[in-house]
Amino acid sequence: MVNDIIAKIQAFAADKDGATAIEYGLIAGGISLAIVAGVFAFGDSLDTLFSDLGTAMDSASEGVRTDAEGIQ
């Protein structure tokens, strides 16, 4: 009986399947932490960038509509 318990403890200690899942979890946590830190660090400049990009796309689409109306 004692040998069975020792064998089960040794088998549990040798099992590495759970370690891989924990490693992937830590990697995912690190990536999400980096994304959050980046958003906080560059949030204002990203807001300005996407605002300017949206304005430029609106202007470009107005030009396309004007050109398309002239073709018809």
Residue of 25, 27, 7 whose CA lies nearest to 15? 7
Residue-wise pLDDT for 48-57, tens only, equals 999 999 999 9
Distance CA(36)–CA(21), nearest Å, equals 23
pTM above threshold 0.85: no
Are 31 and 38 contacting, i.e. CB atoms less than 8 angstroms apart? no
φ, ψ dihedrals at 16, nearest 5°: -110, 5
Residue of 59, 41, 39, 40 whose CA lies nearest to 51? 59
pLDDT surpassing 70 at residue 66:
no
pLDDT surpassing 90 at residue 72:
no
